[in-house]
Structure 1
Amino acid sequence: MSDNLNNRGPQDRSRISLSEKWEVQYWTKELNVTEEQLQQAVKQAGNSVNAVREHLAKLH
């Protein structure tokens, strides 16, 4: 099954994938962070959206 490029939201909204540029753009906008901040948060907290949100909240 091919990806639907018209659907710009992630397939699994509980996980953050850094492998697709459009998904990185989605999460940077959704979480109001830069791409670098997103990458660091995923590196430190894992790819769970909840874990990344908690991690980012501790930084602010």
Structure 2
Amino acid sequence: MADDKSKKDGRDWAKVSASEPYEVSYFAKKHGLTSEQAREIIKKHGPTRSDADAAAERMKK
């Protein structure tokens, strides 16, 4: 089921969804990764944005 874009209570901002193409695309572009690399990071390190961001930064080094 698609996200309800009318609900803006802040619960969703701290997570990255590997099943939402636009979120994977944004995450990949933000870190200079391919979509597949982004999905792997999200699946391996979990959907918590801070954990996934840290893993992507380590991957770039």
Task: Quote the offset at 1:48 in angstroms.
Answer: 0.9
Could you say which residue in structure 2 is the equivalent of 1:7? Answer: none
TM-score by length of 1: 0.65
The unaligned stretches of length 5 or more in structure 2 are 6-10
Runs of 4+ with >6 A deviation: none
How is 1:15-34 mapped onto 2 (pairs within 5 angstroms)? 15-34=15-34
Aligned residues: CA RMSD: 2.0
How is 1:31-50 mapped onto 2 (pairs within 5 angstroms)? 31-50=31-50
The percentage of counterpart residues that share the same residue type is 26
Task: Quote the offset at 1:3 in angstroms.
Answer: 4.1
TM-score by length of 2: 0.64
Query: Aligned pairs, how many?
Result: 53
